[in-house]
A and B are shown apart, each in its own frame.
Chain A
Amino acid sequence: MSLNSGAAHPNDSFADIDRQLRRSNLTTALRRLTGNGFLYFIMVVLALIFMIPLLWMFTTSLKTRQEIFVWPPTWLPDVPQWGNYADAFAKYPLARFMFNSAVLVMINALGEVISVPLIAYAFARLRFPGKRILFIMMLSTMMIPGQIKLIPLFSMFSRLGLVGTYWPLVLPSFFGNPFFIFLMVQYMRTIPRDLDEAARIDGAGTWTILYRIILPLSLPAVTVMLVFTFLWTWNDFISPLIYLSDFNSYPISVGLAFFQGRYSVEWNMFMAATLISIIPVLVLYFFAQRHLIGGISTLGLKG
């Protein structure tokens, strides 16, 4: 009899069977452990590889300018220059820039949360003439590269007298985002209509169905939307650059660009500032990863 099979022979004594079972369980456990260990090993190696840029960023932030490109490359600086962090903050108002980014993120997130479910619900559930054409038109706006829209949008906001304010950076989010609307529509379509109908029989109106039935069930999609809004707004460089004029109103994405001079880049301070600037993103990911991964897998998003 194979020890690995775990099956007992009819002539075996009870003690033999017990022994065989124990051995079999042990082998399975060992095999599981070995298999898991191998998987963990691969994952740790991959994680380290993915972390190399971050580690390099960290060590560079502690080096002098001359040390950064020496040969052979050094992981650790001779004398860690912790002062690079203080210098970076002293050189530019990074805390102010990060606060501005946070304000933009919050307003944009609020805008998306208000507008996207409303629009998506209409497309997913309501019946109205031209719905299909409107949906296609909305989707087609996703195909237009941002660079093409840049000058017309600037012209429009300029004529509205909104250049130099945060309005051009937050106003569009209150009118929906085609990508998020598309996601939300697809998600809402997976929610059984029976729930709507049951609620309607119980006397619920459209608004109640949206806000008390559909939206709570769409939490994974909303999480994905919020995280993406955070990341896109936090990292957006070109829009604030185009629309803002006051130095103290710049977000961190623009603020970091000041470390690149006309002739050189202060890599050590740039890395110090960048490392600080990505902390909120890492914190957000840490807390939202469960919902985010769940949401992404549910929505079929990749990359």
Chain B
Amino acid sequence: MWYRSRKISLVLFALLMLIPFGAVTLAQDVVTIEWWTVNSEEYSEEVQRALVEQFNAEHPNIQVNITVLPESGFTERMTATLGAGSGAPDVAFFWDNNWFPQALDLTSYIEADPDLDPSMYFEGFWNTRAVWQDKVVGLPLGVGANFVMYNKDVFDEMGVAYPSPDWTTEDYIATATALTDPDQRRWGGDRPRGPFRAIWRNYGAFPYSDDSTTIDGYLNSDAAVASYTWLWDLVASGATPTPADIEILGTEGTGPIDLFLAGRLAMATLNQGHMLTAIESGVNFGIVPEPQVVGNERYVNAFSLTASIWAGTAHPAEAYEWLSYWVGPEGQRFLMDNGHLFPSLPDVLADHANADKDYVQAFFAVLELRQVAEWVNAHPCNGTVLRAAVDAWDLVNLGEIGRDDIKATLDSLVDPAQQALDECVARLGA
């Protein structure tokens, strides 16, 4: 009897001793996910912290640790950590395509997730920002697009009719010219600073054949010549600031928004982030898509940010849990309602608080257009050839070639571009 009770006591003692270890084990079960993000006009640091708090409260087994970085330094930090192969975050924006090889393939996680269906997202953004080389490298957060913002006060002052959504590239030059006032150093509109923007595609210009083999007849096609000629006419009109003006007066990589806000640019090709700034600044503006070329398909420069899981993460399942929450319907709705995000999920975007406003409707309409990025992402060698197209674009922009020299200039670029394409295709494939 004494022996038995002693045995029971020992067992009880042993169990008591295990309690703290059990507690330790439970504590260790809480996984910490490192998340790097940026402070943006669309989602402030404060709003993102609130989202994390909500997630952490709902998921006691996962704690997301947020690191908010300045927009201007995010790329440097990601490049350094991914290059070092250690210290990278579990979840972060992978907005540089060069980082995609280090992103976890989410295909199996999405297949096993009953709450996440790729069809929930805008198809164009899924194709361009989530899928890379037949892998799902991330989920697209938010949507953005370029469109032409026009200052209604300037139009009224100059007695010029507001542009309509179906306006043409020729209308653009005529309108910009009518709005230009050299005395006030005011320009009617800005000009595309590089080729392969929506207008270039609207002309049907294409740098090489779809099978990535031929340059001749594409880079120097009639369509390409027409797009360059349009730029030449725009430059010659004097209705736009020069590249030097924009460089000096514009902000670093943030577009001519400052000139637009100051009323010195009556029309400017901007995006939804600029739109938010203009609303905040009280500018009376309207939005139209970039001008079309009658008879051709119309394109848009649209974009989204890829949010990914680092392939080196020690907790892929928990990281996916957070990623699908952040970029899924719940997170994007939270960032839309509490911040200024335009979600990449049409069903969520439809509930936007300002969905009935003209400018938001115009923005939604732009998102329906075909994306220039669809071609860019489908062709790994696009950069090689676009360099040649940029050279010619710059010559026109700087006024260094005559209108009649455009065809000859493009012809002269064909051979070196073909050589570069051949070398690239041999390395990376078509």
Contacts and interface: CB of A to CB of B under 8 A. Distances in A.
Contact of A242 (B76, B85, B273, B283): B76
A265 B83 CA distance: 29
A263 B77 contact: no
B264 A158 contact: no
List of 7 A-B pairs having minimum Cβ-Cβ separation, nearest first: A263-B273, A257-B70, A69-B262, A158-B87, A71-B185, A155-B84, A241-B73
A89 interface: no
B255 interface: yes
A69 B264 contact: yes
A267 B39 CA distance: 16
B246 to A, nearest CB: 12
A264 B251 CA distance: 7
A70 B262 contact: yes
A66 B262 contact: yes
B39 A154 contact: no
Interface string B233-267: 00000000000000001011011011101111000
B119 interface: no
A154 B71 CA distance: 20
11 contacts: A69-B262, A238-B76, A245-B65, A247-B45, A254-B73, A261-B39, A262-B42, A263-B277, A264-B277, A267-B251, A267-B258
B274 interface: yes
B70 A260 contact: yes
**Which of B34, B65, B77, B252 neighbours the largest number of chain A CB atoms within 10 Å of its CB?**
B77
A258 B80 CA distance: 20
A246 B73 CA distance: 15
Contact of B87 (A64, A154, A246, A264): A154
B417 to A, nearest CB: 31
Contact of A258 (B70, B86, B249, B281): B70
A3 to B, nearest CB: 56
Contacts of A264: 41, 251, 254-255, 257-258, 273-274, 277
Interface in A67-107: 67-72
Given A155-B86, A262-B38, A265-B254, A70 B264 contact: yes
Given A158-B86, A238-B73, A242-B77, A71 B255 contact: no
Contacts of A241: 69-70, 73, 76-77
Contacts of B84: 151-152, 154-155, 158
A261 B71 CA distance: 6
Contacts of B9: none
A18 B370 CA distance: 97
Interface of B: 34, 38-42, 45, 65, 67-73, 76-77, 80-81, 83-87, 184-186, 249, 251-252, 254-255, 257-259, 261-264, 271, 273-274, 276-277, 281, 283
A293 interface: no
A135 interface: no
Nearest to A240: B73
A159 interface: yes
A237 interface: yes
Nearest to A254: B70
Contacts of B281: 64-66
Contact of A68 (B40, B72, B258): B258
A210 B323 CA distance: 59
A265 B251 contact: yes
Given A64-B281, A70-B262, A71-B262, 14 more contacts: A65-B277, A66-B261, A150-B80, A154-B84, A154-B87, A241-B76, A242-B81, A245-B34, A258-B39, A260-B71, A260-B72, A262-B40, A263-B41, A264-B277
Nearest to B184: A71
Contacts of B251: 264-265, 267
B261 A65 contact: yes
Interface in A203-262: 237-238, 241-242, 245-247, 254, 257-258, 260-262
A72 B281 CA distance: 20
B80 A154 contact: yes
Contact of B73 (A69, A152, A155, A257): A257
A163 interface: yes
Contacts of A263: 41, 254-255, 257, 271, 273-274, 276-277
B73 A261 contact: no
B76 A261 contact: no
Contacts of A245: 34, 65, 67
A154 B85 CA distance: 10
A247 B65 CA distance: 11
B260 to A, nearest CB: 9
Nearest to A247: B68
Nearest to B274: A263
Nearest to B43: A262
B404 to A, nearest CB: 35
Contacts of B81: 154, 158, 242
B342 to A, nearest CB: 13
B418 to A, nearest CB: 34
Contacts of B87: 154-155, 158, 163
A261 B41 contact: yes
A103 to B, nearest CB: 20
Given A254-B73, A257-B70, A69 B261 contact: yes
A151 B83 contact: yes
**Which of A68, A163, A261 neighbours the largest number of chain B CB atoms within 10 Å of its CB?**
A261
B411 to A, nearest CB: 38
A263 B270 CA distance: 9
